Amino acid sequence: MSLPTDVEAIVFDCDGLLVDTETCWTRAETAIFAEHGHGFGLEQKKLLIGKTLADGAAAMAGYFGRPDEVPAVTRRLHDLVAQELSAGADALPGARDLVLALRDRLPIAVASNSPRPFVAAALISAGLADLFTHVYTADDVPNPKPAPDLYRAACAGLSADPARSVAFEDSGTGVRSARAAGMYVVGVPSLPGVTLQTDATFSSLADPTLIKWAAG
């Protein structure tokens, strides 16, 4: 598969793409499902991955048949994820090397559907915070992913044309957002057996093709 060579900027998702925080979210989600008498597996995870905290909580409350409990589920999810993140999360394979190679020659940013404190905690614990001066979160736009607002904001902040910029994503929600913004999308799925509608897909950020491309 070919990757673009005429690129103005690169924008990365965070959770499940740069940092192994999906395990943190999954443990929190599993606990809430158990509290409501439900098991949690791949089918349930697919309903939530890539969503904002609020949208994920709404999806959970709907799944439980308790839409009136959205505020309570939102608070519970927030508290459990914060607790999980406080223990730290690791950078995913290839993340630091790829970001370092790209930032040497192109403007880069993070665009995440998570709240800003969660993104900051994830990047710090993974040792990636020093690599990004432009970080955009669900707190910064009226309409988070899958709307294009986050990616458009990131490209604007980097003074880049979305049509000549590349987004890295791990979820269908994020891919739809980047596509709606008009970007070239590289997918690195964080869930097994998931096919993303991307322009190029890799199993890891450590793929030699990606590293070679990043180095120019």
Q: How far is CA 199 from CA 100, 129, 181, in A?
A: 23, 27, 14
Residue with tokens 């458009």: 152
User: Cβ atoms within 10 A of the Cβ of 35, count?
Assistant: 12
Task: Enumerate residue ranges in the chain where pLDDT < 70.
Answer: 1
What is the per-residue pLDDT across 95-120, written as a single tens digit (0 to 9) for each? 999 999 999 999 999 999 999 999 99
To the nearest whole percent, how much of the chain has pLDDT over 90? 95
pLDDT for position 133: 96
pLDDT for position 66: 96
DSSP per position, 75-93? HHHHHHHHHHHHT--PBPT
Cβ distance 132 to 116 under 8 Å?
no
Domain boundaries, the chain: 9-20+89-214, 22-86
What b/e sequence results for 140-153 when a residue is b if at least 16 CB atoms lie within 10 Å of its CB, and e otherwise? Answer: bbeebbbbbbbbbb
Instruction: Give this prediction's pTM.
Output: 0.92
pLDDT for position 1: 65
- Matching CATH number, 9-20+89-214, of 2.40.50.100, 3.40.50.1000, 3.40.50.200, 3.30.70.260: 3.40.50.1000
